[in-house]
Amino acid sequence: MRFVATMFLWVVTTALLAVAVPTMWMQRTVVSEDGYAALAAAAAHDPKLQRAMASELTTQIIEFAASNGYRTLNRDLVSGVVTSYTGNEGFPGQFAQANRIAHRWMFTDSVQPEGGPDSRWLVDIAPMLNDPSIKQTLGDLDLDVPQTLTVPIAVPDSSSLRPGQLRWLSTWGPWVSVGSTILAGISALFMLASARSRGKGLVALGVSALLVGAAGWAALEVSQRYVTDALNQTAGDIRQVADVMVAQADASMHHWLNLTLAAGGVLVVFGVAVSLLGGLRRREQSV
């Protein structure tokens, strides 16, 4: 009976851990606005993203100038200034700030959609255009950059992505991630208490972590096709930016899974050591 209870608690612990790891990562890295901004800042160090943003900003500056009467703006001049800007140390922080409005578009209803039912995903590029190096260039043309200048990202009619559609994640995400983590810890303690051998119990918990880490790696590989389908809903420079952002998120998730695998390995080794020491102690007592 005790063995059955221990096995049941081990299965429950493994299942809860399989929920806790990805949901905690999702909450801290994607659902949290600060976490998403940090992800964007990390991605902004990638030269591929810097080149794509330089091209997009050049296009937006020329269009902005044209709408204010400057239709002969030298594209090469603007491109040179913007390329220099995206390569400086201040760009990642400003890129992260610009992505906050995109996050609010997805996870809240605080961003009003443009175009009525043809809702579009918006990114605020004003913080980047207000960088001193770019602002000086625009200032020479007597162009004042507004506090907010949103760039719409077209969302195809076939897409189900709409403003605030992921709001439920921001509402329930913290409860699921924290709750599953706490329950996994409690279940693990109960499993250790019911196990006949503490060492074997620790080994079993290590195996749980190893299984969760390995399953996570497999799930990420399987999900690549669906991620590619989602990325295909964008095009041009924005597609290049999205590619880098997704790659950064993928690397972050793999890092969490690697930590899970490492923790599982440590628990297995520690559990084996505890079992060996316990066996030696019992042998000495029987002599």
Residues 157-183 have pLDDT tens digits of 555 566 667 888 888 889 999 999 999
Mean pLDDT of 238-246: 89
Bridge partners (DSSP) of residue 151 are 123
Write down the pTM of the prediction: 0.83
- Residue 249 is encoded by which pair of tokens? 């998120």
Q: What is the average pLDDT score of the chain?
A: 84
Query: What does the longest C-alpha to C-alpha distance in the chain come to?
Result: 97
Mean pLDDT of 145-164: 63
**Cβ neighbour number for residue 282 with a 10 Å cutoff:** 9
pLDDT for residue 117: 46
Bridge partners (DSSP) of residue 152 are 122
Cα 101 from Cα 110, distance rounded (Å) = 9
Checking if the pLDDT of 223 tops 50, the result is yes
- Residue 243 is encoded by which pair of tokens? 């590619």
Cα 132 from Cα 145, distance rounded (Å) = 12
The length of the chain, given as a count of residues:
287
pLDDT for residue 118: 46
Residue corresponding to tokens 């930590």: 259
3-state secondary structure of 72: coil
- Residue 227 is encoded by which pair of tokens? 């991620």
Contacts of 57 by beta carbon, 8 Å cutoff, 6+ apart: 82, 85, 86, 125, 128, 129, 134
Checking if the pLDDT of 262 tops 60, the result is yes
Checking if the pLDDT of 8 tops 90, the result is yes
Residues 75-129 have pLDDT tens digits of 888 888 888 888 888 889 888 888 887 788 788 866 555 544 445 566 677 777 7
